[in-house]
């Protein structure tokens, strides 16, 4: 007793006491305004004291096989699974003393378990407190929030990255027992209260997230896309205000039984952080910055584009195969001219081009506080040929992630600083009187100056012109001074460019003189008949920007009438001459246009404006009846760049024009545009597999 006293005492305590761990409540995840995005509800768990259960089943002349089916029915489990737990042995084949039967059950289920135990005079089925993770908004922000595993620990997203703060400290209840494991009426229990987890407050704004989610879901439908990602950020401090991925999943029920393990893993992945793509023309912002910083380009420079250029004996086409002609530096940005940017790449050379690629953070992790961030692939300087420099300059060869690109783009928005993107704003806790304490505020900004502020300011003014009158004009909203760039890239699958597979993108910021918000739209594998970034990604951006401007009360210097008009869609006036008034009205109504009759005749003889003109939806078309005028067979030739051959034929033929196609792909150029011609005129349309 003297020599082995401590050992005997420890054994005795184990014999006459039992302990139960009491789960701590996991901390909440909140948006920046305190809206609950993930919470933990108080539920229950079923633990088993198997020694006591074996003894009492024997007394009641029952076996584990007898009680397994009813337990399974109550708990919604398979009988064989329950029996396996009830009869589990250790590695030596000896029956184990305790086990967890099921976690996170509701009160109604615990009542049924207690009734079952009483009915059969069983002891050893122990009900204790537990917590269950719950996401009130289901799929909302799913790929950012992530979810927890069966033990309540973070498995993906914020739940994983900030698990150590969200996870509390379990409590413990130690009770003295008699030899039958029944709690003694005179027992002295030792109770340690569980410590709740801390709350993680995100930079996410629930409303801005909603705008992103809504737009991404609609973009998937409208473009028959495989996936859509949208990010909205504050470019001044790296805060992510919204990050939506479609398709997504419901973290309340993360395992979709209709999918394989790999398919479920893919659904959980945050594509805005984990997936990479060739950026296409949105990368021209980086090439422009490099050339401006190195003083290798000026506003006076003239770039001549004849539709292609030859590098190391290989002909590389501009997306507009008929060429852009003579252009200034601003023009090559507005027109997204590949030939112009290949010239900038030639002036820079591999060393200087890669210097800025590195400065902007490509090929490296941004340090975002989410798991699974991709590096992207950047061609090494020593391996770059003149051909690599040419294609890199307009966004091919290298790959990057959406979050990498928007982080780099923010440096143009904020005057030249690269700042770590992040979703955590602060970690907080509350005392018993609900007083809030900030335990940790995000501080790892890693802010560093990478370009001169005057260069960034000047480039923003150029990018504003891209939206006002260049390839991004479908994103234009009057008075808000959006600056941005579109991009269209063929998708690389297994190391080769996949036919009919594209990635369409748009990056934008506003207002251009002092950006408060930046966004990135990424549409993966849109309908191959309409995949051009300037046609589809800009439309999504316009919707997101407008919602955010209204929500944040960002002021416009245009009148409400001008803003409203700019938000309307462009419509090409259809041909209605020769139709009866009633049929003309139907056709105009189908195009969201109004009509006004100038006379009371029955058949339309002329109209103002002429067919083919581009007007805003809701515009009024004046229809004339009676005498046929001399110019009644004239139509306007609209811009059809970006349209499929089928859409081009339908549009031009509907106006009474003939069409001749040259090449394959989508419309990249046309012989006549913006001119009134006689019906029957042939328009030559150049087609190309456009990578902008």
Catalytic residues: 281
Closest residue by Cα to residue 511 from 449, 470, 467:
467
DSSP assignment, residue 36?
E
How far is Cα 51 from Cα 122, in angstroms, rounded to an integer? 11
- Spell out the residues 6+ positions from residue 487 whose beta carbon is closer than 8 angstroms to its own: 279, 280, 281, 282, 283, 395, 503, 504, 505, 506, 507, 533, 537, 692
Q: H or E stretch including 449?
A: strand 448-449
State the distance between the two ends of the chain, measured CA to CA, in whole angstroms.
86
- Spell out the residues 6+ positions from residue 432 whose beta carbon is closer than 8 angstroms to its own: none
How far is Cα 559 from Cα 555, in angstroms, rounded to an integer? 11
Secondary structure of 520-582 in the HEC alphabet? EEEEECCCCCCCCHHHHHHHHHHHHHHHHHHHHCCCCCCCHHHHHHHHCCEEECCCCCCCEHH
How far is Cα 365 from Cα 421, in angstroms, rounded to an integer? 11
Q: How many CB atoms sit inside 10 A of residue 142's CB?
A: 26
Q: What is the dihedral of CA 442, 444, 450, 451, to 10 degrees?
A: 10
Please name the residue ranges forming H helices in 76-162.
79-86, 107-119, 142-145, 157-161
C-beta of residue 358 within 8 angstroms of C-beta of residue 379: no
Q: H or E stretch including 73?
A: helix 64-75
Q: Torsions phi, psi of 353, nearest 5?
A: -65, -45
How far is Cα 416 from Cα 498, in angstroms, rounded to an integer? 36
β-pairing verdict for 483-493 and 227-234: unpaired
- Spell out the residues 6+ positions from residue 177 whose beta carbon is closer than 8 angstroms to its own: 16, 17, 18, 183, 184, 187
Residues in the chain: 692
Radius of gyration for the chain, computed over Cα atoms and rounded to the nearest angstrom: 33
Per the listing, tokens 């379990």 go with 170
Closest residue by Cα to residue 392 from 442, 440, 347, 350:
350
> What is each CA distance from 211 to 232, 236, 557, 658, in whole angstroms?
10, 21, 23, 42
How far is Cα 134 from Cα 128, in angstroms, rounded to an integer? 19
Chain-centroid distance of CA 72 in Å reads 41
- Enumerate the β-bridge partners of residue 513: none
Closest residue by Cα to residue 70 from 52, 82, 58:
82
Q: How many CB atoms sit inside 10 A of residue 536's CB?
A: 27
């Amino acid at each position: 007793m003297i020599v082995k006293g401590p050992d005997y005492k420890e054994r005795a305590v184990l014999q006459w006491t039992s302990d139960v761990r009491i789960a701590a409540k996991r901390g909440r995840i909140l948006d920046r305004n305190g809206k609950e995005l993930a919470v933990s509800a108080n539920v229950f768990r079923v633990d088993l004291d198997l020694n006591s259960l074996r003894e009492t089943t024997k007394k009641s002349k029952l076996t584990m096989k007898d009680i397994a089916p009813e337990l399974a029915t109550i708990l919604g489990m398979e009988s064989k699974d329950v029996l396996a737990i009830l009869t589990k042995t250790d590695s030596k084949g000896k029956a184990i003393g305790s086990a967890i039967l099921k976690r996170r059950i509701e009160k109604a289920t615990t009542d049924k378990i207690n009734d079952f135990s009483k009915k059969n005079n069983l002891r050893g089925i122990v009900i204790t407190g537990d917590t269950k993770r719950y996401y009130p908004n289901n799929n909302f922000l799913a790929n950012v929030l992530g979810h927890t595993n069966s033990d309540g620990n973070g498995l993906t997203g914020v739940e994983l990255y900030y698990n150590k703060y969200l996870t509390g400290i379990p409590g413990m209840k130690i009770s003295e027992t008699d030899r039958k494991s029944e709690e003694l009426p005179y027992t002295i229990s030792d109770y340690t209260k569980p410590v709740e987890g801390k709350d993680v407050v995100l930079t996410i704004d629930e409303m801005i997230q909603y705008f992103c989610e809504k737009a991404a879901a609609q973009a998937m439908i409208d473009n028959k896309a495989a996936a859509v990602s949208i990010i909205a950020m504050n470019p001044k401090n790296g805060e992510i205000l919204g990050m939506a991925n479609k398709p997504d999943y419901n973290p309340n029920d993360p395992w979709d039984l209709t999918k394989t393990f790999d398919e479920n893993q893919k659904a959980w992945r945050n594509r805005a952080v984990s997936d990479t793509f060739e950026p296409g023309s949105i990368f021209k912002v980086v090439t422009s910055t490099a050339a401006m910083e190195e003083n290798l380009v000026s506003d006076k420079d003239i770039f001549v584009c004849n539709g292609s250029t030859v590098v190391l004996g290989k002909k590389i086409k501009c997306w507009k195969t008929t060429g852009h002609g003579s252009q200034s530096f601003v023009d090559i940005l507005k027109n997204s001219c590949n030939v112009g940017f290949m010239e900038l790449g030639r002036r820079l050379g591999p060393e200087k081009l890669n210097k800025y690629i590195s400065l902007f953070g490509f090929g490296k992790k941004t340090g975002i506080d989410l798991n699974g961030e991709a590096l992207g692939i950047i061609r090494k300087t020593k391996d770059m040929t003149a051909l690599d420099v040419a294609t890199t300059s307009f966004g091919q060869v290298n790959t990057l992630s959406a979050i990498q690109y928007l982080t780099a783009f923010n440096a143009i928005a904020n005057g030249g600083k690269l700042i770590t993107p992040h979703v955590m704003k602060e970690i907080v806790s509350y005392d018993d009187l609900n007083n809030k304490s900030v335990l940790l505020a995000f501080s790892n900004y890693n802010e560093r100056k990478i370009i001169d502020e005057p260069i960034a300011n000047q480039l923003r003014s150029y990018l504003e012109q891209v939206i006002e009158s260049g390839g991004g004009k479908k994103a234009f909203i009057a008075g808000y001074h959006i600056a941005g760039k579109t991009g269209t890239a063929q998708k690389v699958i297994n190391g080769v460019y996949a036919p009919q597979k594209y990635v369409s993108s748009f990056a934008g910021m506003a207002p251009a003189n002092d950006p408060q918000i930046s966004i990135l739209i990424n549409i993966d594998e849109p309908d191959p008949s309409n995949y051009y970034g300037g046609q589809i990604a800009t439309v999504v951006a316009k919707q997101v920007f407008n919602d955010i401007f209204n929500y944040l009360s960002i002021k416009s210097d245009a009148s409400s009438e001008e803003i409203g008009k700019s938000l309307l869609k462009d419509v090409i006036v259809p041909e209605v001459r020769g139709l009866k008034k009633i049929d003309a009205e139907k056709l105009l109504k189908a195009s969201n246009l109004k009509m006004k009759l100038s006379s009371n005749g029955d058949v339309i003889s002329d109209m103002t404006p002429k067919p083919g003109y581009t007007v805003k939806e809701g515009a009024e078309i004046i229809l004339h009846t009676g005498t046929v005028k001399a110019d009644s067979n004239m139509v306007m030739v609209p811009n059809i760049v970006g349209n499929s051959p089928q859409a081009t034929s339908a549009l031009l033929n509907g106006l009474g024009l003939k069409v001749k196609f040259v090449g394959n792909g989508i419309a990249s150029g046309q012989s006549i545009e913006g001119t009134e011609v006689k019906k029957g005129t042939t328009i030559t349309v150049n087609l190309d597999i456009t990578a902008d």
